[in-house]
A and B are shown apart, each in its own frame.
Chain A
Amino acid sequence: MLPSHEQVWRELATIPDPEIPAISIVDLGIVRDVQVDGGAVRISITPTYSGCPAMRLIEDQIKELLTQDGFSCIEVKTVYAPAWTTDWLSPDAKQRLKASGIAPPQPATELVAGPKRRQPLACPFCDSTQTELRSEFGPTACKAIYFCNSCRQPFEHFKNF
């Protein structure tokens, strides 16, 4: 029997993000819509950053999973509106990011806040706010590099977006 609409959502929530495997593509808000109609399934996804190189892989992984489920007609559609924001990450997903050593995003409004109004960023290892930005650009488009002056650890920050 083919999985239901709710089961498809639950299955998609088991696909880890290729670059940040601590959270899934559903946690990230990449999956926007699921439509099941008989043997046909249509998934809408939205990119995080404009040039995110993981989108093609994510699309392939979704198709592979749904093929194994036995759907005969699978469509993965990319949608652009509304634009993705880190505000879509659930509190639980943010907690798992922190547990994997990545400082979770602050509210997206922080991106436009002036330097003096910005919230301090807490180190994911020791919770100290004695941290400093080393580079706005890190190993993936969505992360910046910080350094903790308390525990002397470099760490990544999932940028406010």
Chain B
Amino acid sequence: MNADLFNFVAGLADDRLVLGHRLSEWCGHAPILEEDIALANIALDLIGQAQNFLKLAGDIEGAGRNEDQLAYFRDPAQFLNLQLVEQPNGDFAFTIARQAIFDCWSVYLLEALSSSSHQELAALCVRAAKEDRYHWKHSSTWVQRLGDGTAESHQRMQSAFDALWSFTPELFQATAAQQKLVAAGLIPNLSSLESQWRKAMNELLEMATLKVPTVGAAAGRPARSQHTAHLAPMLSEMQGLARAFPGAAW
């Protein structure tokens, strides 16, 4: 059971570590100053959440690995994040679409996990859910503004959702580990997440005058088991310093 809980919590962490790192790539490059600050703040929240979840995962594993060892010394194949979050930033619309898809799902997920019987996991999720509500407000506001904006911004927003939609089935694919944890009462049943997410996304896209893309075929592989070609180069940059100088400190 510990291995299953480790995988689940490490998955929560890896989603946030990878997405936080992607958002940090915008620092100094965002279209306006407020956005530069906003994306960096969201990155900071997500990396902080990742740190806390990885620390918890390390404690659950009980093999003496701390959050830094888990972040910097696992290879791409051992990362348990969704493919959605490792996709490169693209243009601003692409980053915002990726974020809105994630934020909406993450708020529902973390709020459900806030009632986990695992007290520390529940407490981390209460805090993170509040942070992610602010992220969702931010990303959904931009989706409306750009979708219902100029012909150019509308087209870019639509293209971004069209390109990212095939990564959404993985969000709702329950892993075998997850099902065992539900059976053991460690995490609540997450089966209602998909309908909640679909309803909220449909409402948002409609308000933004965007079309809901047709759903891509469900992935024919276990969730969180494979990565696209984009993860490894990102991790090699993120992990380079820690691996070149093990134990390096500020």
User: Apart from A50-B128, A83-B124, A83-B126, what are 10 other A-B pairs with CB-CB below 8 Å?
Assistant: A47-B48, A50-B45, A50-B127, A52-B48, A53-B44, A81-B123, A83-B130, A108-B130, A137-B34, A137-B42
- Number of chain A interface residues as a range: 20 to 34
Judge whether B133 is part of the interface by a CB distance below 8 angstroms: yes
Residues of A within 8 A of B138 (CB): 136-137
B113 CB–A CB distance under 8 Å: no
B contact residues around A108 at 8 Å (CB): 130
Indicate if the CB atoms of A50 and B52 lie closer than 8 Å.
yes
* 15 pairs of residues in contact across A and B, judged by CB atoms under 8 Å: A50-B51, A50-B131, A51-B46, A51-B49, A80-B127, A81-B119, A81-B122, A81-B123, A82-B126, A84-B127, A137-B138, A139-B37, A141-B41, A141-B44, A161-B130
CB-CB contacts below 8 Å: A46-82 with B: 47, 49-53, 80-82
Residue B157, interface by CB 8 Å:
no
Q: Which residue of B lies closest to A143 (CB)?
A: B41
Most buried by A among B34, B47, B49, B51: B34
4 nearest A-B pairs in the assembled complex, by CB-CB distance:
A51-B48, A81-B123, A50-B48, A137-B38
Instruction: State whether the Cβ of A5 lies closer than 8 Å to any Cβ in chain B.
Output: no
Inside 8 A of B137's CB, which chain A residues have their CB?
Answer: 136
Q: How many whole Å from B199's CB to the nearest CB in chain A?
A: 15
